[in-house]
Amino acid sequence: MPLWTIYHPDDAFSDTDKAQLAAEITDIYAPFMPRFFVGIVFRSVDENNLFVGGVSSKRFVRFVLEHIAREFPNRDASRRFIDRVNQVIAPYIRDRGLDWEIHIDETPFDLWSINGFYPPREGTPDEKRWMADDRPSPRTHD
């Protein structure tokens, strides 16, 4: 699953912005995995609790992405993905004069379950079923 935690100034996003951005982020992954794998948490941070370079910041957004469902096979693939993310977030971040950073952690696939089920491997019939049903179910990899 990708889990995004977005640390942002209090006034960076409206509720509508959050819903639209979450949908656009999910769309990045939807061709490759079930949509319900994608989780996004918006964490508002008061300027007195967000420092960059030792100085309080009202204009910095930090994207922390945790990837479990997929791994990047090489540097070029990770760069293509990051470029796509930068493209998607630009109207919400760059175009509003905010600074940002993206950081991705990859967790081993075998250290993950959803609703007590072990997710199916990429491209398997079970994963295709999870995508079509948009929910986890018992028949998965072992």
Q: Decide if 115 is inside a domain.
A: no
Q: Decide if 122 is inside a domain.
A: no
pTM score, two decimals? 0.91
Q: Decide if 127 is inside a domain.
A: no
Q: Decide if 84 is inside a domain.
A: yes
Q: Decide if 37 is inside a domain.
A: yes
pLDDT-derived band at 117 (thresholds 50, 70, 90) equals confident
What is the structure's pLDDT at 137? Answer: 79
Q: Decide if 134 is inside a domain.
A: no
Q: Decide if 25 is inside a domain.
A: yes
Report d(CA 1, CA 130) in Å as an integer: 13
* CATH number for the domain that contains residue 62: 3.30.429.10
Q: Count of domains in the chain?
A: 1
Q: Decide if 136 is inside a domain.
A: no
pLDDT one-digit tens code per residue, 51-79: 999 999 999 999 999 999 889 999 999 99
On the question of pLDDT at 142 being above 60, the answer is no
What is the structure's pLDDT at 13? Answer: 97
* Residue-range definition of the domain harbouring residue 42: 2-107
